[in-house]
């Protein structure tokens, strides 16, 4: 790990941190996760819950670090008491938090319940959160990182909160870096037209666009058919598209060449939260480290399958040795 063991994000990075070249940067929102022990509609006074830390940016960053990439988180956290354990958890996961900024706002949070299929609702508290203050001013302060690193991961959630994701993607793309983008459409966060406009601007910058079908695809490219979805995303300019179609299947479209990939079965699923982020973080990390697309995707699907053994977005981040072993075993079947 290149970052400090204690979470002490500074307004200006140290000279040593500023000169570090990262394999993967992850831009976005970090959230406090409150995990209820029952379905939300059944929650009553006294329902037990546990606190952890998640958000698509932290989930992807943790996965990238576990996959062997030197990884840094580009985010804004709050000034409340939860910022210390939040950043400590990120550092424990191997993510460099030395470039994280602070804002005089509370951290965003969300409530969810355990689910093995990934089809569930969330209750979010984001209004005036620290994460929502992420701005192009922050992107300008991170320019030396963005232009000197191999890959960037960002999402539609980040874009809905701030125009910063587009500015970051443009900077990395212009410098010859790789951009991975997950539209991650959330109807409670943004409208379809706004999400489509952001997609149209970022898709031409992406080396990998990961999306869900029908979830994202139906809202953003008007189809629930994975092949059609992949073609429409590529028509927008995405170089390679990975479409998850349920928990067990992934369609990869690389320049019009289609391949179907089965996802290794996890016999003991607990919670699918963050599995897509784990795929994106792992796949991007392995691409940044020089793996072929086929190998990177195999590792990504294996890591995503393993990740559902834990509760919450970072409840279980599989070590790469286990990910590689599962990917190899799955290829032999």
Which pLDDT tens digits describe the chain residue by residue (333 residues)?
Answer: 333 333 333 333 444 444 579 999 999 999 999 988 888 888 889 888 899 999 999 999 999 999 999 999 999 999 999 999 999 999 999 999 999 999 999 999 999 886 655 445 678 898 889 999 999 999 999 999 999 999 999 999 999 888 888 999 999 999 999 999 999 998 878 899 999 999 999 999 999 999 999 999 999 999 999 999 999 999 999 999 999 987 789 999 999 899 999 999 998 898 888 999 999 999 999 999 999 999 999 999 999 999 999 988 999 999 999 999 999 999 988
- What's residue 246's pLDDT? 77
- What's residue 323's pLDDT? 98
CA 140 from chain centre, in angstroms, equals 21
Unique residue bearing structure tokens 């993967």: 24
Beta bridge pairs of residue 36: 49, 113
CB 29 within 8 Å of CB 75:
yes
- Phi first, then psi: give them for residue 168, nearest 5 degrees: -65, -45
- What's residue 2's pLDDT? 37
d(Cα 298, Cα 293) in Å, to the nearest integer? 8
- What's residue 38's pLDDT? 82
Read off the pTM.
Answer: 0.91
- What's residue 12's pLDDT? 38
Residue 306 token pair: 């393993």
Considering only CA atoms, give the Rg of the chain.
18
d(Cα 126, Cα 171) in Å, to the nearest integer? 27
For residue 201, give the H/E element and its range: helix 192-202
- What's residue 19's pLDDT? 56
Burial of 145 (0-12, 13-18, 19+ CB in 10 A): buried
For residue 11, give the H/E element and its range: none
Residue 230 token pair: 């992949």
Beta bridge pairs of residue 182: 155
CB 159 within 8 Å of CB 166:
yes
For residue 221, give the H/E element and its range: helix 215-221
CA distances from 320 to 7, 21, 69, 90, 162 (A): 24, 21, 10, 17, 32
């Amino acid at each position: 790990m290149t970052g400090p063991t204690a979470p002490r994000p500074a307004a200006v990075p140290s000279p040593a941190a500023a000169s570090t070249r990262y394999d993967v940067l992850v831009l976005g929102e970090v959230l406090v996760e409150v995990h209820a022990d029952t379905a939300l509609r059944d929650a009553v006074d006294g329902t037990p819950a546990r606190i952890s830390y998640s958000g698509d940016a932290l989930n992807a960053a943790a996965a990238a670090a576990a996959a062997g990439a030197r990884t840094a988180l580009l985010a804004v956290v709050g000034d409340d008491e939860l910022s210390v354990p939040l950043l400590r958890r990120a550092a424990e996961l191997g993510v460099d938090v030395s470039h994280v900024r602070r804002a005089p706002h509370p951290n965003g949070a969300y409530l969810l319940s355990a689910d093995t299929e990934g089809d569930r609702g969330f209750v979010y508290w984001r209004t005036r959160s620290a994460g929502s203050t992420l701005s192009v001013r922050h992107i300008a302060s991170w320019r030396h990182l963005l232009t000197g690193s191999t890959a960037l991961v960002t999402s539609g959630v980040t874009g809905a909160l701030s125009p910063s994701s587009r500015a970051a993607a443009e900077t990395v793309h212009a410098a010859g870096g790789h951009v991975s983008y997950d539209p991650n459409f959330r109807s409670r966060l943004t409208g379809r037209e706004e999400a489509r406009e952001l997609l149209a601007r970022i898709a031409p910058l992406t080396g990998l666009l990961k999306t869900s079908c029908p979830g994202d695809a139906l809202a953003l490219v008007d189809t629930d058919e994975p092949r059609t979805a992949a073609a429409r995303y590529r028509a927008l300019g995405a170089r390679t598209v990975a479409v998850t179609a349920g928990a067990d299947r992934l369609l990869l479209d690389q320049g019009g060449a289609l391949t179907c990939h089965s996802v290794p079965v996890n016999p003991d699923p607990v919670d699918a939260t963050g599995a897509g982020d784990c795929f994106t973080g792992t796949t991007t990390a392995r691409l940044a480290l020089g793996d072929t697309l086929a190998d990177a995707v195999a590792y990504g699907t294996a890591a995503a399958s393993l990740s559902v053994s834990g509760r919450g977005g970072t409840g279980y981040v599989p070590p790469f040795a286990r990910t590689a072993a599962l990917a190899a075993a799955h290829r032999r079947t």
